[in-house]
Amino acid sequence: MGGRPVPVLTTTLVILFLSLLSLSASEPLCTDSRAPFNLTTPLTFCPYNGTSCCNSTQDVQLQKQLQKLFQAMNVSDSPCASIIKSILCARCDQFSAELFTVGTTPRLVPVLCNSTVSANSSQSSQAQDDYCSKVWDTCQNVSIYNSPFAQTQAKLQVDSNFTKLADLYKEKTDFCNALGGASSTDAVCYDGVPVMLNSTVVPSPPSGLCLERIGNGSYLNMVAHPDGSNRAFFSNQEGYIFLATIPDMGSGKTMDLDESNPFLDLTDEVHFDIEFGLMGIAFHPNFIQNGRLFASFNCDKSEWPGCTGRCSCNSDVNCDPSKLPSDTKTAPCQFQSVVAEYSTNSSGSDPSTATSAKPTEVRRIFTMGLPFTSHHAGQILFGPTDGYLYFMMGDGGGTSGDPYNFSQNTKSLLGKIMRLDVDNIPSVEEINKLGLWGNYSVPKDNPFVADAAFQPEIYALGMRNPWRCSFDSVRPTYFICADVGQDQYEEVDLITKGGNYGWRIFEGPERFASPTSATNSSVNSSDFIFPIMGYTHSQVNKVLGSASITGGYFYRSQTDPCMYGRYLFGDLYAGAIWAGIEHPEDSGNYTSDQIPFSCAKDSPIKCDTQGSFLPSLGYIFSFGEDNKKDVYILARSGVYRVVRPSRCSYTCSKENLTDIASPSPTPSSQAYSMTQGSNSLVFIATTLWFALLLLGQL
């Protein structure tokens, strides 16, 4: 279950939306840029259990470091020694990146809680104790060997390896001004124990999401035109890429997209079937100068001579293709995943004016044979800060449970997120030496580039079928992916460099009972990163007992100010939508709420409805974002845009209704009213309908 969207099916599923789910997890705030992880057993030296940035090996290293220091200090039983241990162990805190970094400057000593600094504290009441003063009072006259406090004062000429705080700072005030800070909504400080945030009231979810339907087509991808205009590219599963013009909101117009005149036609190369097709499109960061674009698709080597590549089931991963049970009537690796580069047809020097692209490949970037016919994801994205191409790949499918454990196999690219450099093409000799799968280089800072046990392309691992990922346009380090579950759980993951997201050992936060043994798995379960949000199959779809998550975007438009900063995502089968939020910001604590939605009565295209007012989206294939940061839903029934909540009679206190002109209704919208009554009745009916659903669950 839980593959990607299946647009060839035509039956509209009528689903009952069930009760809400809220989860919290840790934010990637470790000093090594990885996310904290849940410890299976508490550390033996540092006082951390639950969530931490240290594993057992790092715990032992800290113990040895302190033992050397104690031997030199000869004060192992002193109160100061206990404080030094605590400060060293702060590296294991789930907030260590914030504790040991001020601005962009790394520190050797964490920010020490200083109650003399005025702040709106959100940390535990223990922080009210002036821990910075405690450190000074306890250790000011203790000679410390290779003191980290001395290293923070590197500009001073220190003649001895032994230093006192009193040698480095004139008085306590200077010490605490340099190393102290207060807990606030923007930062945390260290008070001698693991950082804990008070449980605060999470902002109430928006009353609803208002949509308008501006297109009829069924698409898998939407990418805003890199020139910053009101144009966007849409692609469908069959293999067409279209260039569309997005109408102004409130104009009453539909998007201008001519399906008889595609921007790029790849249907001769693309193999289109339930789980196959054109899966992703991406435009080079310098597209408006170089006209380079990329497509990710599936092909069938029995249909197209250009569909050639090495099988992902091979000796490197202890897999024999001849013994691989196929889930189809075709041979293993008959179907391939391809990433190819193309170029625009531009009459001038500005590729942004091009209205078409050349169908001939400029370069084949990547080709890999697929062991089965499902779970190959296929989305591609360029990183907003590094300019590298991110390529999402599922576990390859099969009967169930990733039977060959490809996701945890560090020599396999199945079940991985890859990061590729498509600007620096290596020689054939280099490609063969590194065992690469195509014409690309490996970024030098990829997490496993120096580890021969890993494929160097791997950026993150342990994915089942990542279906739609995105970077937050405001916080580009927030890289979010939705990963489709199998039997129980659909998850949203915050992707960090080198992160392992657990499949098939875990499905979401729960242990997965695999029917087959592991293959070439060299990872430690304590390093797994768990979802920040998600939902169970039974909670979203009790009728079918199945679900398939579709990832979306952090909402960054001011069109719906009550939705700002929330991560929107949906479910393929249920047609349901969630909004998740991190609160407090940068805390790593996330909650998500299922959000009611309806269609504006003045929608440019009449919305098909379930009952009297609820839009019948059908399958939710994907989400999109335009250059104004407005968010779109790409569904079986068409293209929908998130609009002002008041257009659906949803209440948002932040919405400024002043000088908002009512759009001129189109002929179709004049003849259409979702409730055949007033706006107030729409709001009452919406509230009552969802209330009845929730009551029916009790």
Residue whose tokens read 């759009």: 663
Q: What average pLDDT does the structure give for the chain?
A: 83
* pLDDT for residue 196 is more than 70: yes
Nearest partner of 651 among 208, 212, 250, judged by Cα = 208
Whether 369 contacts 307, CB under 8 Å = no
| pLDDT the model gives residue 197 | 65
| pLDDT the model gives residue 637 | 93
| pLDDT the model gives residue 678 | 34
- According to the 3-state scheme, what is the secondary structure of 243-311? EEECCCCCCCCCCECCCCCCCEECCCCCCCECCECEEEEEECCCHHHHCEEEEEEEEECCCCCCCCCCE
Let me know the angle formed at the C-alpha of 451 by 450 and 456, rounded to the nearest 5 degrees.
75
289-305 in b/e form (b: 16+ CB < 10 A) is eebbbbbbbbbbbeeee
Read off the pLDDT band of 611 (50, 70, 90).
Answer: low
Give just the sign of the alpha carbon dihedral 154, 160, 161, 164: negative
Q: How far apart are the first and last CA of the chain?
A: 27
Kindly report, residue by residue over 59-83, the tens digit of the pLDDT.
Answer: 999 988 888 776 666 555 578 888 8
Q: What does pTM read for this prediction? A: 0.70
| pLDDT the model gives residue 624 | 98
Helix then strand count (H, E) for the chain reads 12, 37
Read off the pLDDT band of 645 (50, 70, 90).
Answer: very high
Give just the sign of the alpha carbon dihedral 637, 642, 643, 648: positive
| pLDDT the model gives residue 660 | 52
Q: Rounded distance, CA 577 to CA 550, Å? A: 9
Give just the sign of the alpha carbon dihedral 405, 411, 414, 419: positive
Q: Residues 631-637: contacts with CB within 8 Å, 24+ apart? A: 631/552, 631/553, 631/555, 631/557, 631/568, 632/222, 633/211, 633/570, 633/577, 634/218, 634/219, 634/220, 634/221, 634/222, 634/234, 635/218, 635/575, 636/5, 636/7, 636/12, 636/218, 637/213, 637/218, 637/608
* pLDDT for residue 155 is more than 80: no
Please count the other Cβ atoms lying within 10 Å of the Cβ belonging to residue 352: 17
* pLDDT for residue 682 is more than 50: no
- Look at 25 and 97; give whichever has higher pLDDT: 97
359: its two tokens: 């169908």
Provide mean pLDDT across the span 254-278: 97
Provide mean pLDDT across the span 222-245: 98
* pLDDT for residue 453 is more than 90: yes
Provide mean pLDDT across the span 165-174: 88
Whether 24 contacts 531, CB under 8 Å = no
- Look at 53 and 145; give whichever has higher pLDDT: 53
| pLDDT the model gives residue 65 | 84
Q: Rounded distance, CA 397 to CA 237, Å? A: 19
| pLDDT the model gives residue 38 | 75
Q: What percent of the chain stands above pLDDT 90?
A: 55
* pLDDT for residue 464 is more than 50: yes
Which residues, in sequence order, are CB contacts of 558 under 8 Å at separation 6+?
A: 564
Kindly report, residue by residue over 335-348, the tens digit of the pLDDT.
Answer: 999 999 999 987 66
State the pairing for strand pair 597-599/209-215.
parallel
Q: What percent of the chain stands above pLDDT 70?
A: 79
Q: Rounded distance, CA 391 to CA 469, Å? A: 10
- Look at 285 and 615; give whichever has higher pLDDT: 285
Q: Is the peptide bond before 504 cis (omega within 30 degrees of 0)?
A: yes
| pLDDT the model gives residue 204 | 87
Domains of the chain, earliest start first = 37-181 (no CATH), 209-684 (2.120.10.30)
Nearest partner of 367 among 326, 306, 419, 409, judged by Cα = 306
Read off the pLDDT band of 117 (50, 70, 90).
Answer: low
* CA atoms within a 13 Å half-sphere pointing along the CA-CB vector of 525: 12
Largest CA distance in the chain: 87
Residue whose tokens read 């009760």: 19
